[in-house]
A and B are shown apart, each in its own frame.
Chain A
Amino acid sequence: KQEVTQIPAALSVPEGENLVLNCSFTDSAIYNLQWFRQDPGKGLTSLLLIQSSQREQTSGRLNASLDKSSGRSTLYIAASQPGDSATYLCAVIGSNFNKFYFGSGTKLNVKP
């Protein structure tokens, strides 16, 4: 069974810092990996989708990488801002397309 782990569970940084969030998964037979943002009491907002054939995706200050063979992905946030404070979740979907497996999330706090 696929297991997804996110480290660290929580992170507090001063505004302006660059940071990296980590995601690992046990079964490398994934179809894609998706990073989400969740604000308190809200649903999930998709940030980046990386297909298994891709190595990275970029959107604005966000860059996500994928190393499928080692079962790892990182989300890099450049020049962090207080508005980036949220919980970040990674999820993988297998080749059967029928189920997402979520990590437990990293709660980020960017201090002004």
Chain B
Amino acid sequence: GAVVSQHPSRVICKSGTSVKIECRSLDFQATTMFWYRQFPKQSLMLMATSNEGSKATYEQGVEKDKFLINHASLTLSTLTVTSAHPEDSSFYICSAHISTEAFFGQGTRLTVV
């Protein structure tokens, strides 16, 4: 099946710093990628839709300036958590679709201390 690679798998950062998470489609091109956040024992919450060559579309309640998304190429989308705080600690997952089948990255565990 198609492969979506996410990096890093884990990151610990100090409060106030910024963290960048990468999502790559390894064997296909993705004009659209999706970023999710998952709280403990809960399902995935869509944060934003990343569009290659244009601005991301954010879900209601998600701060655009807090979660910066860049989709500069057909195989790479990045999510930058700016001025991270402990409440941003979570599991972040990206996905890309081939037709309507979704393929997910391995996820990134962010811990802000």
> Is B6 positioned at the interface, with any CB of A under 8 Å from its CB?
yes
B43 near A43 with CB under 8 A, answer no
Given known pairs A42-B107, A43-B93, A46-B1, the reply for A100 and B102 (CB within 8 Å) is: yes
Give the size category of B's interface with A: 20 to 34
| Interface residues of A, count at CB 8 A | 22
Per DSSP, chain B at the interface is strand
> Is A93 positioned at the interface, with any CB of B under 8 Å from its CB?
yes
B43 near A104 with CB under 8 A, answer yes
> Is B104 positioned at the interface, with any CB of A under 8 Å from its CB?
yes
A43 near B105 with CB under 8 A, answer yes
Residue of B nearest to A6 (CB): B43
Number of residue pairs spanning A and B whose beta carbons lie under 8 angstroms apart:
52
Contacts of A34 in B (CB 8 A): 101-102
In whole angstroms, what is the CA distance A37 to B6 when docked? 17
> Is B91 positioned at the interface, with any CB of A under 8 Å from its CB?
yes
Interchain CB contact (< 8 A) of A102 among B6, B44, B91, B106: B44
Chain A interface (Cβ < 8 Å from any Cβ of B):
31-32, 34, 36, 41-46, 49, 89, 91, 93, 97-100, 102-105
26 contacts between A and B (CB under 8 A): A32-B100, A32-B101, A34-B101, A34-B102, A36-B104, A41-B107, A41-B109, A42-B106, A42-B107, A43-B6, A43-B93, A43-B104, A43-B105, A44-B95, A46-B101, A46-B102, A49-B101, A89-B43, A89-B44, A91-B102, A93-B100, A93-B102, A98-B49, A99-B49, A100-B102, A102-B43
